[in-house]
Amino acid sequence: MGGQRLGRSRAAAKARLGAVDRPLAVLSLAGFVSQVGVAVMLPLLPLYATLLGASPFVLGLLTSAFAVLNTIGQLGVGLLSDRFGARRMVPTGLGIYAAANALIATATSALPLVAFRSLAGFGGGMAIVAERVYLARSTPAHRLAFTNGILSAAQSAGTVTGPAVAGFLAAASDLRVPFVLVAVTSLVAFGGTLFLPREPAAATAPARATAIVPGDGAGEDAARAIPSASGKPPVRTALRPIVALLLANLALQAGFGAFITTYAPFSTTRLGWSTAEVGIVFSLFGAGSILLGPWLSRLADRHGRRLIAILGTVPVIAWGVILVLGLPSPVIWAESILAGGGLTAFGAAWYALLSEASPAGRQGRTFGFVSAISTLGIVVGAIAASTLWEAVDIAAGPLIASIAVAAAIPALLALPRARPSTAAA
């Protein structure tokens, strides 16, 4: 009898694990394929726009319009995910993104290019939020950081692979072909997400925490999830963790905005790097995400997500300082790998913490709102870095990136401390 009970227990555990791994496998494969296309297209987009007659003003409009529509897509899909389910929204966003990039390949002038790129931003924003909401609803609470880390690592693998494909395409074709490739890869990802399993009926990870792993302390909000007298799902209205997570991600995005604005100019003009070296170091971030991200994300589930999120910022903060100091290349390479792993660990822990903090029945709109507002940090960081570049020195850019990321630490410290899960991740 004991052996039979043990066998049934193992079979049940295997079934639960399979139910988690299928959504994760589908989303990871879709993320990898999609990011290969994105990594191919992004470096060539300004060249393609210039070929179509875009002025510097139109180039700025191209970036701004994409960002604005991306934000709108994130806000809108949050509401739609709560109403119609995130599973439907993931392929919808990818389908819009694929169609928009196919249209970009047919553009004959700059203005249609801006319009089609804006549409791509809307679809991309939908997919960004919907896939994370779906993953949160399909994953046991004690594995949230780990599964988000795996998804981020898969996307990073696509980002690392993309530049090699881009080099081949640039030599063998014209500038329209990369956008055809993006449309194809997005369409493949769209097809894969059509096979995602349905979301659980109880679509809130915090509520599942008490059912799947009793007493694991995966989230401090779970402990407050007391059913109402009517038997309806509890409604949590605590804003403190949501605001803290919003400010933390806003700071990280501001750091990214400062980094992306000044990294390449500083590296080439002050450190004497070639374009190839700039790309290699950028790829090392992706390598760090792949090699270290999943392991660190698992530690977040086991030893505390707030702690790992804070520790994940440390190598990112140090990276800008090391770059400005001009330390030897091997040191910068090693630090880039550590920073890539830290970024993935931060993101994985952050999504898990946001899943715990989101009110029951309003998870989608909470994800959409927080993600969309956080995106504004990129604009703040980019403007701050470019302004100080002109007023002081270009070295201010990487330092501003480090300072901005450091600002995420006090925001994370404002989160209530939660006891980590003891369940196997």
Contacts of 379 (CB under 8 A, 6+ apart): 67, 257
| CA 341/CA 351 separation, integer angstroms | 16
Of 175, 201, 227, the domain-final residue: 201
pLDDT value of position 211: 36
Residue 58 lies in a domain: yes
Q: Do 224 and 192 belong to one domain?
A: no
Of 179, 201, 223, the domain-final residue: 201
Total number of residues shown for the chain: 425
Minimal CA–CA distance to 382: which of 247, 270, 271, 253?
253
Q: Do 214 and 192 belong to one domain?
A: no
Of 201, 228, 254, the domain-final residue: 201
Contacts of 109 (CB under 8 A, 6+ apart): 52, 53
Residue 213 lies in a domain: yes
- List the CATH number of the domain containing 141: 1.20.1250.20
Amino acid type, 243 = V
Per-residue pLDDT of the chain (425 residues; tens, 9 = 90+): 445 554 444 444 444 444 447 788 888 888 888 888 777 777 677 778 888 888 877 777 787 788 889 889 999 998 889 888 889 999 999 999 999 988 988 888 989 999 998 999 899 999 989 999 998 888 888 899 999 999 999 888 888 777 667 666 656 566 777 788 888 888 888 888 888 888 776 444 444 443 333 333 333 333 334 343 344 444 445 788 999 999 999 999 999 888 887 888 888 889 998 867 887 887 889 899 999 999 999 999 998 999 999 999 999 999 999 999 999 999 999 999 999 999 999 999 999 999 988 887 788 889 999 988 988 888 888 888 888 888 889 899 899 999 999 999 999 999 876 655 444 44
What's the predicted TM-score (pTM) here? 0.78
Q: Do 252 and 342 belong to one domain?
A: yes
| CA 197/CA 176 separation, integer angstroms | 35
pLDDT value of position 46: 75
CB 39 within 8 A of CB 161: yes
Residue 92 lies in a domain: yes
Residue 425 lies in a domain: no
Q: Do 273 and 374 belong to one domain?
A: yes
Q: Do 217 and 190 belong to one domain?
A: no
Residue 44 lies in a domain: yes
Q: Do 278 and 298 belong to one domain?
A: yes
| CA 138/CA 136 separation, integer angstroms | 6
Residue 372 lies in a domain: yes
Terminal CA-CA length for the chain: 28
Q: Do 91 and 164 belong to one domain?
A: yes
Q: Do 265 and 394 belong to one domain?
A: yes
Task: Tell me the residue range of the domain where 396 lies.
Answer: 209-413
Q: Do 297 and 354 belong to one domain?
A: yes
Q: Do 187 and 214 belong to one domain?
A: no
pLDDT value of position 224: 39
Q: Do 150 and 19 belong to one domain?
A: yes
Q: Do 170 and 294 belong to one domain?
A: no
What distance lies between CA 219 and its chain's CA centroid? 21
The number of folded domains in the chain is 2
